[in-house]
Amino acid sequence: MPRQSSTAKTPSFIVEIPLVVSDEDAGVLSSRFEAGRQLYNACLGEAMRRQKLIKQSKKYQSARKLKKGKARTAAFKEANQAYGYSEYNLHSYCTIVRNSWMGEQIDSNTAQKIATRAFNASCRVAFCQAKKVRFKGKNQLDSLEGKTNKTGIRWVNKTLVWGNLQLKPYLTTYDSVISYGLSCRVKYVRLVRRRINSKTFYYAQLVCEGKPFQKPKNQIGQGTVGLDIGPSTIALVGDESAKLTLFASELKFAEKEIRRLQRKLERSRRANNPNNYNSNFVNQKVQQKKGTIKKGCKQWNNSRIYQKTRTVKSNLSRRLAAHRKSLHGHLVNDILSLGNTIKLEKLSYKSFQKNYGKSVGKRAPGGFVSHLKRKAESAGVSVMEFSTHSTKLSQTCQCGTVKKKNLSERIHQCDCGILCQRDLYSAFLAKFVDENELLQANQAQNAWLGSEPILYAAWRQATQTNLQLGGRVPSSFGKFPESERVAAKVQNVEAKVLDVVPNIWESQEEVSLRFEPPSL
């Protein structure tokens, strides 16, 4: 694996700044990104070629037969060295490739980072973390970065400098986040290209040393927070508050418009490329259905209407993704304000995608967890993930009873008298899972009397909020029991429950404008 660089030994954060790019500078950048793409493909192809030779060698085959240990690691290392499969060997190959027109476009430091990127991609296949690598097609490489802020792509006097290019930032006002980022030492700079509304914009991502700026309103709380995450819902329980809600519940999904654009794209593509689709069955052994795409290499002809429609659809998806990411950030800040220790189950979000693809595509629970871990790490908050096989929180009661439930059963009800919404109860039990991934039932029993009314209030408020917004209550929430005993407990903790009514801090149009780059 690649050696850890010195820049990775200290904490880092990123400050993104839009750049003012003229038409002439845009042409130069386009040539450099194209050179970087071809250099990446060349390095990736060479890395995979050497990896294939290693797997065919006798040294590699004998190393596989050894038991895990230092001897096996040394044998694999010797096989890699025999065929020059390492990050620095790929740097040397990259230098040879640069002895062409690419050397005029890409400096040595940027080329080495491209080679490192290709080597890391090949390592994922070597360690069975990926099945194959993907070579970059035209206009598919949209980021280039340097190694340090001394040569190559660098940030000097509030200006991005790369060779003869000097790009000024587009900043009308310096807010507290950007001012704090510019005051920190810049480790290296990443140049990012984005296409929005058929236009190309460039941004400078400054990788700065230190911890990110923390706004005064986002303070870190004290205590333990338990989370229970589903494909589209999340339940969180703190020491004095609880919440049950959908991921990005305020986001308005343009499902009908997206489906209409997808159908329009498919009709246009079939009309312009009739030879790329099967018209009848090929033979009896391999029966290909009528209208399916033919196998093998094909040439696609896209009309102007197709390209225009594709741009409209991609822009709509981009706005929805940007708004969803913003709503995830607000929810993460709410969780961090409840406590400095977060406990949740270790789930397979790839399994979520296979079984609940539509819900995951809308709510993105895996992206939320990644966002939570990143912010928690920068804020010094510990995140503990425990196995579901040893705890089984959705099937366990604090009295020790373990009963298997179907997914359709959304209410946890036990003979000991416990009655609660299933996700909220699992999040409550998650607070009492220790470092050995064992549930401390005694602690849960002692805390239940004070937490029971809080969980009931969160359950009722979650169902009422969806009805007030004109939507239906998700079936995963379960039906709230309207009994006198539950109502009496809920009335005493109204101030304890988090406000789950959406805070309309900006409308959908304002969100779109906020993520829309300025017209230069």
The predicted-structure confidence for 284-322, as pLDDT tens digits, reads as follows 445 555 578 888 888 999 999 999 999 999 999 999 999
For the segment 419-437, the average pLDDT, to the nearest whole number, is: 91
Q: How far apart are CA 143 and CA 90, in angstroms?
A: 20
Q: Residue 108: which of 120, 121, 96, 118 has the closest Cα?
A: 96
Q: Element (H or E) spanning 419, and its range? A: strand 419-421
Q: How far apart are CA 169 and CA 495, in angstroms?
A: 46
Q: Element (H or E) spanning 344, and its range? A: strand 341-345
The predicted-structure confidence for 68-105, as pLDDT tens digits, reads as follows 999 999 999 999 999 999 999 999 999 999 999 999 99
Q: How far apart are CA 2 and CA 16, in angstroms?
A: 27
For the segment 339-366, the average pLDDT, to the nearest whole number, is: 91
Residues 225 and 340 sit within 8 Å (Cβ to Cβ) = no
pLDDT at 136: 95
Strand partners, 228: 235
Band of pLDDT at residue 475, cut at 50, 70 and 90: confident
Residues 262 and 380 sit within 8 Å (Cβ to Cβ) = no
Neighbours of 175 (CB within 10 A): 9
Q: At what angle do helices 108-126 and 87-97 cross, to 10 degrees?
A: 130
Band of pLDDT at residue 280, cut at 50, 70 and 90: low
For the segment 335-342, the average pLDDT, to the nearest whole number, is: 92
- Phi, psi angle pair for 382, to nearest 5°: -85, 135
**Encoding tokens for residue 17?**
């700044």
For the segment 426-452, the average pLDDT, to the nearest whole number, is: 90
pLDDT at 489: 61
Q: Return left, alpha or beta for 291; rule: phi > 0 is left, psi -120 to 50 is alpha, else beta.
A: left
The predicted-structure confidence for 172-200, as pLDDT tens digits, reads as follows 777 888 999 999 999 999 999 999 888 89
